[in-house]
Every structure is written in C-alpha cells, then in structure tokens.
Amino acid sequence: MSAVQSTPAQPADASSPATSPATGQVVAVRGSVIDIVFPASALPPLLDAVEILWDGPERLVAEVQSHLDSGIAQGTAHDIAQGTVRAIALQGTSGLRRGVAVRALGTPLTAPVGDAVLGRLLDVMGLPRDDGPELPPGTPRAPIHRPPPPLARRSPRRDPMETGIKVIDLLAPLARGGKAAMFGGAGVGKTVLVMELIRKMVERHTGISVFAGIGERSREGQELWEEMRRSGVLDRTALVFGQMNEPPGARWRVGLTALTIAEHFRDEQRRDVLLLMDNVFRFVQAGAEVSGLLGRLPSRVGYQPTLASEIAELEERVASIPGAVVTAIQAVYVPADDFTDPAVAELFSHLDSSIVLSRAMAAEGLYPAVDPLASTSSLLDPLVVGEAHYRLAEQVRRTIAQYRDLQDVIALLGMEELSAADRLAVRRARRLQRFLTQPFLVTESFTGHGGISVPLEETLKGCRAILDGDCDDWSEGAFFMTGTLDQVRGRAAEPTGRTA
C-alpha cells in the first residue's frame, strides 16, 4: 500500500486541496479554539497552518498558537509519542466534532501575490469573494508571517505628499513612504475622511493600492468596491477583507495578508504601494478576543498581554526600501473617545502623522472635524516643509489655542468682556476654523455640494490673509465649506455672504 507524499521543495499551502495523509486528530473544540493531537515526530511548529479534513460547507484552516502537552498513545503493537497543539480557526467551526482528521500543511498561512490579485476582492486566505473566477493556477503565494526589512535596507527619506485637504496639508502633512492614521470615536467622520483620501490619492497615485478591511461592515466594503470601480482605479487595487461577522482569527490575520501582497509589489516588482487599512483598532480587538480564547491572562483594560508586540508586528512591516515605497493610511477607532486607551497610545508611537478627529468640532458641523491642536506630523519641520509653512502653521495653532482658552469666558460673560486684542484673535480664529472646512467628493450625493481639492499654496495664502487681517470685514459664513480665498471673496461679495 503506497502513500502520497508532498516533496519538501513544494510544501502544501492553505489554499490547495488535501494531497498528503492526515497526521493529527481533533480532540476538543471550543468555538474558534481547536485542540489537535499529533504524533510527536510530526508536531507542527507555532504559526504553521493546519487543515481540518471535515465535511463542512468550506475548507477549514487553523493556525497553531501553542503546544500544550505531550503523552503516550497506547497502540496495539507499540506505544506512540504524541503532543497536543492549540490552534485558532480562520473560519467558522459550527458542526465540527472530535475525532476529525487534521493535516499539517508544513508552512504558515500563505496569500496569493502578484498581478493576479489586482482588481479582486479576497479573504484572509486569498480566496476570491467577488463572485469572479478563481485565481490562475500558477499564481505565486507567500507566507503572511515574515520579518520587516532590516534597517540597513530601509529608505530614510520622507517627502511631503499633498492631499488637497486644507487642514491636513497645513497642520499634519502626510509623508510619501510614511505611516499616517486618523483617530476618532464613533460617528466623527473617520471612514469618510479615509474614503476621501483614497479617492484623492489613488487617482493621483501611479503605483499599486492595497486595501485591508479589518472588521469592516459588509455595506462599507460594497460601497468601497463600487467607488473604486466608478473611479476607474480598481484594476490597480487589491482588496482584502475580514468582515465583522467573521471569526476573530480571520480579522486578526487579514492585515498581515494585505501586507504580504503589498510587500511583494515592493520587493519583487519595485513598485510604489499605497496601503489603506480600516480599522486598525479591530485588529487589536480581534487579538484580544484570540488571547482570551487561548486562556491568556489579560493586561491593562482587558487587552492582551502581547498588545505591543502584535501592533509592532503589523506596523514595522510597513516600510520603504530604495526604489519602492509603501505609504500607509489607517483609520483607528478610539473607544469612548479615550485617547489614553492602551491600544490607541501604542499606535501613536509608530506613526509619522497623527490626525485626531474632534467630537466637539463634529457637533458644530465643522467637517473634516480634524483637531488642529491635537493633530501632529513629523514632517511639520522647517527643514522639510520650509520656514514659511512651518511658521504659518504654528501661528494658526496659537490663534486657535487662544480662542479655546477664551471660550469659557465668552460663554459666561460674552465677547464684550474681552480686550480688543482678544476679540480680534477670536474673530480670526473662528474664520480660520471655518476656512479649514471643505466639502468632500465622497459626500456629494449626501450634501449636494461638489467636492473641492485645494492646492497647498492656496491654503497657505488663505490662512496668511486671515491672520494678517485682510479678511476681518468678511462674514464668517463666507469661509464655511469652501475652497480657496478667491472663492471666499466671491461669497463675501454676495448679499447672503455678509450674514453671520
């Protein structure tokens, strides 16, 4: 009786059919956690993938997370040394029972890479989920676990990247080849801002775009798919989704699948990559769920004890090398608007640009609700953006900070109790706040206002004119949801533009 064996040079991957004999057996199932017994000589290493050979609706793959124990199985002819591993399933386990055979794949989970994934919507295992054809048989695959590029291979250069969004270009410029994140609680406009950046930057971007939907709603994924198809950039984009209704293992690893696709284009094809992730907090949340299922003791605020290393594993792989850059834009949910949350605080340390969204500004209708005082960027330096831009940005921040300091006095006593200098600063700060709002392309169908993209020089020109007092006689309403200073001037000249 002969047995089919896979050659060492071509290990089976997590998407191919079973071709090797089963080597293990399921001994316990607790939700997404599966305990499997293997012979001690065939114990799969940590982070390797195993396939459960069940009769369920789709293939079931799990990732080994720990080695539990070892023992002896009593055989008829001789005793067999065996060990138990604990794995996290990447799909649902409903209907799985003990005694089902398991095959060790001999490799970590792999993802398809290369031109075949462009224009496709994939899941965490790289399977198409867009009702399209299967990927070509010869599509190369790469393991989702790999170290980041060594420091000696990284490119230290960071050039500002213009977005056409006034408040970002002025106060928190994004870096080509850097990492930026939008922080905010529920309902303050994170996804809208990320969608606007996708539309603006993907259309200008000449390289490849990879979108990772981590814990996304099905509606949001459908809207993104339709938006990219309408804008004609889908053929240069790969979308990888781990939806909100999927098991925590899928949501935990989908970001690594997207990173693997991006790294292939960077390393093998030397192409620039725009990596978009929404929402990174769902990655942390999935990791906390997995940690609890594995029985690990929680750390601060109930997070997993491996929080810092898991975030670093994801973020440090977003790196640029000479000849090819990876630019990352991420959305981060802030639970209960608490920016001291351990997951949020840990993410801040990995970023070049941090764009903080304010609930108070959103309540006033000042969109995008980017907080000009809390948002920061390592590129806002006179050696990078120039002395004039840097000084103007600092003056804008000081003026708005002065207005915020006076808001309690204004609420209690009114503007009349302020000095003449303070009243002037307040009027200019209010005009600055409204000038830094603008309508978005992605919200045209909801607001009825056409989207506006503003060049950086026009943003600087408008802010300088407001601070110099050239616009003191114009009404505040003329600055709201508009673009350049010339457009504000045209509004102010209209009879309706002079009303407060």
Indicate which residues carry an active-site annotation: 190, 216-217
Q: Looking at residue 264, what DSSP letter applies?
A: H
Nearest CA to 157 out of 322, 393, 371 is that of 322
Alpha-helical runs (H) found in 355-484? 359-363, 382-385, 387-413, 420-435, 444-447, 456-467
Phi, psi of 351 (to 5 degrees): -105, 155
Q: Looking at residue 96, what DSSP letter applies?
A: -
Contact between 36 and 87 (Cβ < 8 Å): yes
Q: Is the CA virtual torsion 426, 428, 429, 435 positive or negative?
A: positive
Cα dihedral 146/151/156/162 (nearest 10): 20
Nearest CA to 305 out of 282, 317, 332, 287 is that of 287
Burial state string for 189-227 with b = 16 or more CB within 10 A and e = fewer than 16: bbbbbbbbbbbbbbeebebbbbbbbbbbeeebbeebbeb
* Distances 445 to 200, 442, 459 between C-alpha atoms, Å: 17, 8, 25
Q: Looking at residue 138, what DSSP letter applies?
A: T
Contact between 63 and 109 (Cβ < 8 Å): yes
Phi, psi of 94 (to 5 degrees): -60, 125
- Counting beta carbons within 10 angstroms of the beta carbon of residue 5, is it exposed (0 to 12), middle (13 to 18) or buried (19 or more)? exposed
Contact between 373 and 401 (Cβ < 8 Å): yes
**Beta-bridge partners for 50:** 62, 104
* Distances 440 to 116, 198, 367, 437 between C-alpha atoms, Å: 32, 12, 9, 10
d(C-alpha 437, C-alpha 57), whole Å: 50
d(C-alpha 13, C-alpha 111), whole Å: 9
Nearest CA to 190 out of 287, 303, 335 is that of 335
Contact between 325 and 273 (Cβ < 8 Å): yes
Secondary structure of residue 493 in the 3-state scheme: helix
